[in-house]
Amino acid sequence: MTDWTEKYRPSTLSEVRGNNKARDALEEWAETWDDHGDAVIIHGSPGVGKTSAAHALASDMDWPVLELNASDARTKDEIERFAGRAAANTTIGGTRQLIILDEADNLHQHKDRGGAAAMTRLVKNATQPIVLIANDYYEMSSGLRSACEDIEFRDISTRSIVPVLRDICRQEDVTFDEDVLERIAEQNHGDLRGAIKDVQSRERDGEILDTGSEGERDRTEDIFSFLDAVLKEESAEEALQTAYAVDETPDNLLQWIEDKVPKVYEGDELADAYEHLANADVWLGRVRATQNYTYWRYATDNVSAGVAAVRQEERGGWTRYGGAPYRSSRDSTRDYVAQQIAKEAGVSMATARREIMPYLSVMTHHCRNRELTVRMVARYDLDAEHVSLITGSGKTTNKVQGIIEDAEELLEEEAVEHSGGAFAQVEAAASDDADTDSNEDGSGGTLADFGASSDDGDADADGAADDQSAEERAEAAEDDDGQAGLSDFM
């Protein structure tokens, strides 16, 4: 039996249903490609017509297609071989061709052995129009996203899906009930491809059967539904089931929850949630060390059920979660903070991330404990972006800028305090420069002679005493530095 989704795939952009603005934007991108030369990312939920639109565009532009599935070719060598083949085809044919990279969001930096970087280079250096197709735009690396234009295909409305189903039924010469088609469209939540498959699966002897269970196939939950389930709405068991329905790995779920939980939880809830996130990180560390992916289930338990279980009340309304948490700039900021804590506390960066940073976030949430926040900034040499990461306050706010200034003053005060009076003595010596210059026998001393006596014997004894006290001060300073950590600035 012929697959109806393939049989009735749009052959021109005008036949693409339900995303008129996106369709028009894609057409404009192609027609002006000679002017800008950029690649484009088409992204949206599965089944909304992204790949069909790309092929329909090629047909309209009379461009031959060279296609690669990123799930199949994930390494640097494979992608570079593909890039070479594309270049060779261009040289031979001398005409434009459309390069389609499907499932481009399935390249993960820690798995693809250079594939994501190779893909970015391919996009930047290409001499042919490139369309990348992705379900999750934010799953792609920031470098790849910034190198391309983007066009979002939204879920298709029921009123747009039903006419397509009706037209297919008429072309297949099968009878149908309009109500059945509407239920199929509604149950598929914007997935046109899924709706067509459901209609075909219910065709019997020239009739679309009313089974009462149209469209009840598993549908992947989006990441924001997962966040709401865990942080605001569902029980621990329900949150765990939602986690299983999200097309994300446990390490990605951990990053999303870790980044977004301060937007919803606070106080005891936030501290308890970080305990579960720390446990999840331990399990993920074991996965990386042993390559035993059965440990993933324990990470997922902590990220979803564990965090949901500590919620003290359900929360309604809409929350502005923002974009994906795993941007390179944020990662580098987090790494810097962890590195500073690890250096001062004498622990590993993993321990700093897992056991110290979460507690700092709770104790300095929105900089409410100002004195503690100031001492933290001074102790770990943090800038505004680091304070923003830990406390959740905006880095450009007056509150954060004031804390940075107070921390600088604190460091200056501590420098004077630990100097052993050196600054005061230097100032005194400087004020005596006039007397020193007028002192013919040089007994007034200079900065080079600082601390010396005119009596040579006394000078030796005093010098030894000064050396000893300086040595003791240095040891005391070393001992003080070795006590870094949470208790050091509390």
Most confident of 58-67, 84-93, 471-480: 58-67
Q: What percent of the chain has pLDDT over 70?
A: 72
pLDDT at 455 over 50: no
Q: Which residue has the tokens 């040499």?
A: 381
Cβ-based burial of 9 (10 A; exposed 0-12, middle 13-18, buried ≥19): middle
Residues in contact with 173: Cβ distance below 8 Å, sequence separation at least 6, in sequence order: 206
Q: What is the 3-state secondary structure (H, E, C) of 35-67?
A: HHCCEEEEEECCCCCHHHHHHHHHHHHCCCEEE
Q: Model confidence over 408-431: pLDDT tens digits?
A: 888 888 776 665 555 455 455 545
- pLDDT level of residue 29 (50, 70, 90 thresholds): very high
- Sign of the alpha-carbon torsion through 464, 466, 468, 474: negative
Q: What percent of the chain has pLDDT over 90?
A: 20
Q: Which residues pair with 153 in a beta bridge?
A: 44
Mean local confidence (pLDDT), 229-234: 89
Cβ-based burial of 313 (10 A; exposed 0-12, middle 13-18, buried ≥19): exposed
H or E, element range at 171: helix 158-171
- pLDDT level of residue 111 (50, 70, 90 thresholds): very low
Residues in contact with 99: Cβ distance below 8 Å, sequence separation at least 6, in sequence order: 65, 66, 67, 68, 86, 126, 128, 129, 130, 131
- pLDDT level of residue 474 (50, 70, 90 thresholds): very low
Tally of CB atoms within 10 A around 63: 18
Q: Tell me what pLDDT residue 345 has.
A: 84
Q: Tell me what pLDDT residue 233 has.
A: 84
Q: Tell me what pLDDT residue 165 has.
A: 93
Domain 4-153 is found in CATH 3.40.50.10470:
no
Among residues 190, 196, 191, which one has the least CA distance to residue 208? 196
Q: Model confidence over 315-334: pLDDT tens digits?
A: 877 777 776 664 445 566 77
Tally of CB atoms within 10 A around 93: 10
pLDDT at 268 over 80: yes
| 37/188 Cα distance (integer angstroms) | 37
Mean local confidence (pLDDT), 19-33: 93
Q: Tell me what pLDDT residue 488 has.
A: 54
What is the three-class DSSP state of 153? strand
Tally of CB atoms within 10 A around 216: 11
Candidate CATH numbers 2.40.50, 1.10.8, 3.40.50, 1.10.3470; the one for domain 158-208 = 1.10.8
Q: Which residue has the tokens 């005409």?
A: 95
Mean local confidence (pLDDT), 56-76: 79
Q: Model confidence over 176-195: pLDDT tens digits?
A: 989 899 988 888 878 888 88
Which range has the worst mean pLDDT, 260-264, 399-403, 484-488?
484-488
Q: Are 127 and 87 in contact (CB under 8 A)?
A: yes
Tally of CB atoms within 10 A around 437: 10
Q: Tell me what pLDDT residue 471 has.
A: 45
418-422 long-range Cβ contacts below 8 angstroms, 24+ apart: 418/473, 418/477, 418/480, 420/469, 420/470, 420/473
- Average pLDDT of the chain to the nearest whole number: 76
**C-alpha neighbours within 13 Å on the C-beta side of residue 414:** 13
What are the DSSP calls for 236-256, one per residue? HHHHHHHHHHBSS-HHHHHHH
- pLDDT level of residue 470 (50, 70, 90 thresholds): very low
Mean local confidence (pLDDT), 442-457: 39
Mean local confidence (pLDDT), 102-124: 68
Q: Using alpha carbons only, what angle is made at residue 243 by residues 283 and 291, rounded to the nearest 5 degrees?
A: 30
71 or 392: whose pLDDT is higher?
392
What is the three-class DSSP state of 190? coil
Q: And the tokens for 132?
A: 């990348």
| 360/365 Cα distance (integer angstroms) | 8
Q: And the tokens for 462?
A: 């005093």
Mean local confidence (pLDDT), 295-318: 87
Q: What counts of helices (H) and strands (E) characterise the chain?
A: 25, 7
Mean local confidence (pLDDT), 207-234: 71
